Amino acid sequence: MTTYGSFPGTRPRRLRSNPVMRRMVAETRLHPADFILPTFVREGVSEPVPIAAMPGVVQHTRDSLKKAAAEAVAAGVSGIMLFGVPEESKKDALGTPGTDPDGILQVAIRDVRAEVGDDLLVMSDLCLDETIDHGHCGVLDEQGRVDNDATLERYAEMAQVQADAGAHVVGPSGMMDGQVGVIRDALDQIGREDVAVLAYTAKYASAFYGPFREAVASSLQGDRKTYQQDPANARESMRELALDLEEGADMVMVKPAGPYLDILARVADAVDVPVAAYQISGEYSMIEAAAEKGWIDRDRAILETLTGIRRAGARNILTYWATEVAQKLNRQ
């Protein structure tokens, strides 16, 4: 005799039974429009320069950067975040290439806008570390400390030249107190109310930035713990968030992404502006290195980490896999 109602009466596995069922009930989906592609453009090179610590990523020439931008557009990626790498001889104590209209970043912004117009959001890194001879994110005072307010003056100038070059969005990443407000005022003063500010709201002093230092040919000595956030702290991210919103941030970001999903979730729950997360160089390099060793399934690991970032609350994700993943999603 058949017995009905036997344990278990509830079987969640029914909703995992085959790929179509799993796809239908998926709570989190990735879309090409979620992605922003970080890219590096190096002054004075005739061929793209591979970044040893980031397999598959290069320091672009101006021409190869334009090609990468066009590929991102074709894949449906929403934005490109540009980092300029000037010639070493041009770096100085003020980060002059960062405010020179003919500095490599400003030239790259103009190149990309000429190539793709408004089909791709052109975003510019607004920080001095790539252009300054000591590698910090700001100018130094007489005691060798990063001078917050003197740095803000430089950021204001950078915002204006980047906007003049054609940036749709500026991304202040230096974690200086008051940076969003000063940049917003500087943009408005030249009639560029249309340029958005993506605030690096919670940027932690992370060990995972290591490969990025090679990517931008950083001259940094020491660390950035006096201005980037302490990985031990969470509540101060919410304070930084409140300040950035008060100062006029249009979008906010958590960086790194993977090690700070708890922060990302708290920020996303607290705001009604778009939230981004940056899957940084170390996160990228660990997966690529482990995959090269045959220790993990590369493609599954990439999608799993990106899905986790999206699930935690990121509306947009900066990732070096942006175009690659977007192309794969388009084929599904």
The SS3 of residue 84 is: strand
Q: Catalytic: which of 66, 91, 225, 255? A: 255
C-alpha span between 207 and 244 (Å, rounded): 25
Cis peptide before 8 (omega within 30 of 0): yes
In the annotation, is 203 catalytic? yes
C-alpha span between 210 and 282 (Å, rounded): 6
Chain centre distance of CA 195: 17
Amino acid letter at 307?
Answer: T
Please name which of 127, 236, 237 lies closest in space to residue 174, comparing C-alpha atoms. 127
Q: Would the annotation count 213 as a binding residue?
A: yes
Residue 85: in which H helix or E strand, if any? strand 79-85
C-alpha span between 247 and 76 (Å, rounded): 31
- Longest alpha-carbon distance in the chain: 90
Do 183 and 172 form a contact (C-beta atoms < 8 A)? yes
Q: Would the annotation count 200 as a binding residue?
A: no
The SS3 of residue 271 is: coil
Burial of residue 11 (CB within 10 Å: 0-12, 13-18, 19+) is exposed
Tokens of 88: 């070493």
CA distance from start to end of the chain? 47
Q: Would the annotation count 62 as a binding residue?
A: no
In the annotation, is 66 catalytic? no
Q: Would the annotation count 88 as a binding residue?
A: no
Q: Which residues pair with 124 in a beta bridge?
A: 82, 170
Tokens of 95: 């980060």
Q: Which residues pair with 121 in a beta bridge?
A: 79
Q: Catalytic: which of 203, 225, 293, 328? A: 203
Q: Would the annotation count 184 as a binding residue?
A: no
Cis peptide before 231 (omega within 30 of 0): no
Catalytic residues: 203, 255
Binding residues for 5-aminolevulinate: 213, 224, 281, 320
- Residue list for the binding site: 213, 224, 240, 281, 320
